[in-house]
Amino acid sequence: MAAATTKTRVRHPVFARIYPRVNRFAEAHGATEHRRELLADATGCVVEVGAGGGATFRHYPPQVSRVIAVEPEPRLRRLARLVSAEAPVPVEVRAGQAEELPLADGSADGVVVSLVLCSLADVPRALAEARRVLRPGGSLYFYEHVRSTHARLARKQRLLDRVWPLFAGGCRLTRDSEQAVIDAGFSIQRVRRFDFVINGRTTPSSPCVIGVGRKP
């Protein structure tokens, strides 16, 4: 486990009530397919960081032998535990934070972050933790909304970021999560950038990335 301890507690009671509904809406408009794409090649023992209410659990493919899901927010963690009973693979839900994962070095074949890097206080530290718990050659699977490459939308995201985190559980719109994964020392194996357009509308969180990074 990481040497330093993280004192920050993650509690977003209002967001935790609303998020499952927001997620169901997103899944009905394409996020289900995104989650399947994210997890298609996952295999062996997988650590899911910031699992929320367990929305990814039902999408793990049979070649995944076990999922250890880490979620710091108490209400979402309770929901994840309920949902884990219905998962097609064994899922254990643990309390913990991305910056200090409750797992041994090199113990995972894969780490999953799904719409999580946007919400973390310390992304480099969290990705260093993901690297630590992965075995050499292990994979980081990431699905994130990111900063737009279009100047106009990027400007809108920057402005919105002044208030957005207050309503969205600390989420920020302006992160370049693919670059953060590269900066953390992962080599990108595959990546797809796209706009998640819902009912023909581009939203501030439309620019997305789904990819896999490999630990050397």
Point out which residues bind ligand SAM (CB under 6 A). 10, 19, 23, 49-52, 55-56, 71-73, 76, 97-99, 114-116, 119-120, 169
Work out the angle at residue 120's Cα, subtended by the Cα atoms of residues 136 and 113, and round it to the nearest 5 degrees: 45
Residue 139's Cα: distance from chain center in Å? 14
Smallest distance, ligand SAM to C-beta of residue 156, A: 20
Instruction: Determine if residue 180 is left, alpha or beta; phi over 0 gives left, psi from -120 to 50 gives alpha, anything else beta.
Output: alpha
Q: Which is nearer to ligand SAM, 55 or 153 (CB)?
A: 55
Q: Please say whether the beta carbons of 84 and 63 come within 8 A.
A: no
Shortest CA distance to 52 belongs to which of 146, 171, 194, 198? 171
d(CA 141, CA 135): 14
Q: Which is nearer to ligand SAM, 75 or 215 (CB)?
A: 75
d(CA 78, CA 73): 9
Smallest distance, ligand SAM to C-beta of residue 11, A: 9
Smallest distance, ligand SAM to C-beta of residue 73, A: 4
Q: Which is nearer to ligand SAM, 97 or 139 (CB)?
A: 97
Q: Which is nearer to ligand SAM, 86 or 187 (CB)?
A: 86
Q: Which is nearer to ligand SAM, 19 or 186 (CB)?
A: 19
Smallest distance, ligand SAM to C-beta of residue 106, A: 20
Residue 106: count of CB within 10 angstroms of its CB: 14
Q: Which is nearer to ligand SAM, 3 or 151 (CB)?
A: 3
Smallest distance, ligand SAM to C-beta of residue 108, A: 15
Smallest distance, ligand SAM to C-beta of residue 109, A: 19
Three-state DSSP string of 159-204 = HHCCCHHHHCCCCCCCCCHHHHHHHCCCEEEEEEEEECCECCECCC
Residue 214 token pair: 């490999």
